[in-house]
Structure 1
Amino acid sequence: MSTNLIAAAADRLRLADETGRAAAPVREFLGENDLDAAYAVQREVIGARVGAGARVVGAKIGLTAPVVQQQFGVFQPDFGILLDDMMYGHGETVPYSRFLQPRAEGEIAFVLGRDIDVPGATVAEVLRATDFVLPAVEIVDSRIANWDLTITDTVADNASSGAVVLGATPVAPTGLDLARTGMVLERDGEPVSFGAGHACLGSPVVAVTWLAREFARRGQPLRAGDVILSGALGPMVPITAPGTFRLRLDGIGEVDAVIEEGQP
């Protein structure tokens, strides 16, 4: 893939982010199936943000649900990078104006207490490396107009990342059956999405294990302190106006994502 085409795709995504105006798909530069090129664009976009002062704090996993994989014609997850300026805490105000086309998902966040730097990491090694888990509302967003995506569009666009709201009470994973963890996501008190851990590659810890292997293969292993979003437990919900999204996770707790008018 030409470096000029990768740069052109990255520039289109950066301009959409800076202007708040969604752009045409970048697959015209990358094609619809070249994941290596798409991740190269992602690295360029993230590198520019880090160069401007942002800090990498973890990663997110996408495309964990079989129905979504079928939609994109791929049969493995993808990933994006989490930066410090994407992160919010329980009840903290999230400015609605920072997003273009936001949607909310309920997830389990893993916070690592040690590095996972071995190839072929196992589920047991991931669980031993996990310090605690938290409920998390991911606000996914797309710089591509009308969510008109192929796999290369979403990967290049940092796996359609927007922001993350984390709960404030850590829970050790010991003894939790994460595959059976039930989820309810409410919008202003009304339930709008239901799900469970088994919707995420069979279990969220299986999703994190996939990510650990993928990062180790790429020579950038997951590190102690990283926050890992393991993937959606239920359907995403459009955010069409400010409001409060409350996520409840069985055995883990709850978190409020308070989205209000205001400048980012």
Structure 2
Amino acid sequence: MAWDYDSVAAELLACEAEVREREPISDEWPELANDIAGAYGIQDANLQKRIERGEKLIGVKLGLTSRAKQQRMGVDTPFVAWLTDQMILPVGDPVPQARLIHPRIEPEIVFVMKDRLEGPGVTAAQAMAAVGQVLGGGEVIDSRYRNFRFTAGDVIADNASSGAFSIGGVSVKPEDIELGTEGILVEVNGEIVDSSTGAAVQGHPGEALALAANDLAKRGLAIEAGWIVLTGGITDAYFATPGTSIGFHFTNLGSVYFYGGDE
């Protein structure tokens, strides 16, 4: 098949709708691998299709903000993607296995924006001044690519492996928490399997927020007041297979639980 931006956009949305995985498109169209601008164009085109079918844009998410995850996935830079209201997973609801291919869950520090944040040149301090609330949460990532194998262009076009997300019930003002040292314990089926701190996210989650604002500015966009921002996985992501229970326990932001659901 001869690929172009429109056909890639259509194929990725079809894979999501049909719960169908595939090999990376860059295997067949190598130019996509490092075509960051084109990949963001595909991402934006599919956001428009989501809006046209009734979804509402509610924020942004960052992907691969930790160096360890970049190295593991073979990608050397973080990236930004879109959140819509259809991606919200109410706390306590099971992971929607029927509409996901191979869901994995990772803990996130979440911001709710108080003010509009527009780059370029935004610093972490300026970014944090625009934050209204800080919460703990988790993202259910679900790549359309088999075995989560992709290049930068592939994953950006795929809206950074978007699936679903949940936000916990503990809200803290940004000035009342030290996010670089905020701890997180990951519990899988009753066993603590991982731990980290907010510093895993670009040294401080505020740096990730600034990165997002400055990245969006290249496309003439900004982070809007009221938006939700997922700042990136603090630890590795864990498979949410049916029957699995996963809990993320934050030092000051409470706990967020996920249940893999039934077969």
Q: Which TM-score band applies after superposition, normalised by the shorter structure?
A: over 0.9
Contact 1:89 1:167 in 2 (8 A): no
Unpaired runs of at least 5, structure 2: none
Q: Structure 1, residues 223-259: CA drift from partner, whole Å, max 9, x if none?
A: 1111000011111112222433211111121112233
The equivalent residue for 2:60 is 59
Out of 41-50 and 199-208, give the one that drifted further. Answer: 41-50
Out of 48-57 and 252-261, give the one that drifted further. Answer: 252-261
Out of 68-77 and 43-52, give the one that drifted further. Answer: 68-77
The equivalent residue for 1:119 is 120
Q: Structure 1, residues 132-166: CA drift from partner, whole Å, max 9, x if none?
A: 11111111111112222111111110001111011
Contact 1:193 1:236 in 2 (8 A): no
Out of 112-121 and 55-64, give the one that drifted further. Answer: 112-121
The equivalent residue for 1:227 is 228
Q: Structure 1, residues 176-233: CA drift from partner, whole Å, max 9, x if none?
A: 1111111112123222332111111111111111111112332111011110000111
The SS at the match of 2:224 is coil
Counterpart code for 2:184: M
User: Structure 1 length as normaliser, TM-score?
Assistant: 0.92
Q: Determine the C-alpha separation between the residues in 2 that align with 1:115 and 1:96.
A: 35
User: Structure 2 length as normaliser, TM-score?
Assistant: 0.92
The equivalent residue for 1:182 is 183
Which structure 2 residues correspond to residues 92-103 of structure 1 after superposition, within 5 A?
Answer: 92-103=93-104
Q: Determine the C-alpha separation between the residues in 2 that align with 1:122 and 1:242.
A: 42
Name the Cα RMSD after superposition.
1.8
Contact 1:12 1:23 in 2 (8 A): no
Which structure 2 residues correspond to residues 24-173 of structure 1 after superposition, within 5 A?
Answer: 24-27=23-26, 28-29=28-29, 30-71=31-72, 74-173=75-174
From the superposition, tell whether residues 6 and 242 of structure 1 become closer, same or farther in structure 2 (CA, over 3 Å). farther
Q: Give the paired residue count.
A: 260
The SS at the match of 1:179 is coil
Q: Determine the C-alpha separation between the residues in 2 that align with 1:223 and 1:80.
A: 14
